[in-house]
């Protein structure tokens, strides 16, 4: 049966109440995000507030409209089917309850299947979630009131219309794709050999004396690779209990500076449960003859506990004085914690190898601050390297959509997240109005669109003299390694490498033999060795 004139009016009521909910929800999302920044002491001028609101209307609203139209269409269709059993005056309440419940279920479902823990940032808090649900309920109540008042569901004979004559048809949701234009790989004279294959999401690579290598696998295994490239069949025993889920798992392995004598290694990993987890650091002695760890001791656990399974950081590096720096992510849903010195989230921490806190840490004497913090305002640092020749610590971190950063780390400095970023949220919403803010450090290099940097090495080998002193930046999303050169103005990309492999690069290392070693982030990941094309293959 064709839709009647009254049916078209019903459709118009559905559309305008849906649009009302989208606009109000978008403005609420914007103001809640800005409120979170204000609570950090950030001053937001009225002009920036209006500009951010307008940006979100243009970029976030279409994404939210696609999501809400599905939940709103289904929920209001259900309410239309149930209204005949409800007294007329209570029907708006029925439509309101259906709209709010439908959105709540949709957000739960989206968060369960999306890569990030929470897709719509406003729903991270109870207050934000309630605001979004109440706006949906308001739209539902208005739609239900129109249905009850106008009796749109009566057919020409006065009886209830058939469902086929009053169905509300929704346009298919558009799939939003972020386009990432990638420069062509330069014509470098190298060869890529496969050393080991079949590693499950390998995360970190470390070299031991004599050419032996250690590789971590994110699910919680530590593997030994012999100097000739043979992978020991069984993982090393005695590892700590690892929380492995999503981005959580076993991260970095770092041998002690005196490993030849002490046989000591350090491991960073996620510990706890999905509802309450931390980034942890442990030390142990590696018994190579028995392939097991002994004397395992946890020396650091991040504070506070967080839920979810995203953004842990996990990189480790030695500084010139023998202290260790560990990177910690912001936990995704906890981004404002990166600006608080009472939280380890979104910071770099510095420790002595026994877990004690260096007395010269920048906040060691600051009342109320966590003394381990070395720098803060980071999102998710997954690349750390110490340049001993220039006594500088360099890091890179993931931005959201855009805003990946390369930074030179100075103790006690604030690197801006989430007050400052070049990126926007995955939904298109602005995270902040600011790309620069007083007292916050600008990056040496910014990647927008995002390349998802992971793994960072300073090339100091002899096999590729033209790369000497350059940084090698692995990239997950861009599936490449970028050669980056530091300049007086910051840093610049001078070459894009290994795009022909079309794999996600998790770690990049300069080997003691001068070769470049790569780990690919795959269920069946590879350990690769890059050498000049003229060099004989690894035997």
Q: Catalogue the active-site residues.
A: 311
Q: How buried is residue 339: exposed, middle or buried, by Cβ count under 10 Å (0-12/13-18/19+)?
A: buried
257, 322 in Cβ contact below 8 A?
A: yes
* 471-475 and 381-387 strand pairing: unpaired
Render 382-417 in DSSP notation, one character per residue. Answer: EEEEEETTTTEEEEEE--SBS-EEEEEE-TT-B--T
Nearest 5°: CA angle at 498, between 454 and 233? 70
* Vertex 450: Cα angle to 449 and 455 (nearest 5): 150
454 — phi, psi (to 5°)? -155, 120
DSSP per position, 88-116: GGGHHHHHHHHHHHHHHHHHHHHHHHSSS
- Contacts (Cβ under 8 Å, ≥6 apart) of 318: 254, 257, 324, 325, 386
Residues 6+ apart with CB under 8 A from 108: none
């Amino acid at each position: 049966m064709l839709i009647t004139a009254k049916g078209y009016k019903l459709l118009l009521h559905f559309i305008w109440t849906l649009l009302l909910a989208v606009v109000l929800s978008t403005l609420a999302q914007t103001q809640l995000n800005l409120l979170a920044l204000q609570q950090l002491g950030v001053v937001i001028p009225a002009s920036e507030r209006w500009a951010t609101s307008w940006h979100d209307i243009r970029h976030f609203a279409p994404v939210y409209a696609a999501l809400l139209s599905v939940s709103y269409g289904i929920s209001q269709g259900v309410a239309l089917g149930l209204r005949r059993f409800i007294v007329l005056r209570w029907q708006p309440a029925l439509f309101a309850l259906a709209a709010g419940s439908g959105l709540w279920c949709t957000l739960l479902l989206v968060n369960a299947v999306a890569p990030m823990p929470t897709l719509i940032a406003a729903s991270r808090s109870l207050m934000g979630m309630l605001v979004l649900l109440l706006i949906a309920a308001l739209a539902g109540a208005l739609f239900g009131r129109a249905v009850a008042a106008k009796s749109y569901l009566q057919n020409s004979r006065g009886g209830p219309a058939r469902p086929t004559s009053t169905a509300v048809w929704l346009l298919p949701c558009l799939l939003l794709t972020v386009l990432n234009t990638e420069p062509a790989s330069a014509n470098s004279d190298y060869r890529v050999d496969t050393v080991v294959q079949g590693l499950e999401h390998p995360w970190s690579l470390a070299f031991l004396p004599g050419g032996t290598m250690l590789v971590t696998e994110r699910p919680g295994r530590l593997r030994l690779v012999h100097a000739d490239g043979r992978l020991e069949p069984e993982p090393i025993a005695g590892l700590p209990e690892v929380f492995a889920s999503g981005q959580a798992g076993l991260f970095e392995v770092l041998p002690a500076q005196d490993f030849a004598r002490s046989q000591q290694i350090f491991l960073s990993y996620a510990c706890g449960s999905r509802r309450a987890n931390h980034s942890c650091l442990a030390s142990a002695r590696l018994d190579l003859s028995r392939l097991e760890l002994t004397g395992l001791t946890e020396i650091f656990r991040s504070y506070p506990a967080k839920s979810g399974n995203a953004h842990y950081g996990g990189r480790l590096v030695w500084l010139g004085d023998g202290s260790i720096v560990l990177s910690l992510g912001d936990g995704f849903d906890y981004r404002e914690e990166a600006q608080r010195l009472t939280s380890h989230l979104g910071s770099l921490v510095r420790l002595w190898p026994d877990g004690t806190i260096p007395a010269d840490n920048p906040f060691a004497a600051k009342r109320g601050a966590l003394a381990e913090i070395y720098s803060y305002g980071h999102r998710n640092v997954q690349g750390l390297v110490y340049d001993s020749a220039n006594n500088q610590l360099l890091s890179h971190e993931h931005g959201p959509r855009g805003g990946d950063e390369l930074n030179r780390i100075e103790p006690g400095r604030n690197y801006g997240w989430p007050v400052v970023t070049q990126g926007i949220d995955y939904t298109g919403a602005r995270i902040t109005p600011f790309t620069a803010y007083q007292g916050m450090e600008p990056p040496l290099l910014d990647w927008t669109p995002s390349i998802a940097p992971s793994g960072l090495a300073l090339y100091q080998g002899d096999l590729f003299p033209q790369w000497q002193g350059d940084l090698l930046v692995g990239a997950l999303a861009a599936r490449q390694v970028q050669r980056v050169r530091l300049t007086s103005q910051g840093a610049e990309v001078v070459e894009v490498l290994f795009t022909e492999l079309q794999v996600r690069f998790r770690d990049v290392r300069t080997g003691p033999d001068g070769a470049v070693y790569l780990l690919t982030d795959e269920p069946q990941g590879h350990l690769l060795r890059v050498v000049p094309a003229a060099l004989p293959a690894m035997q």
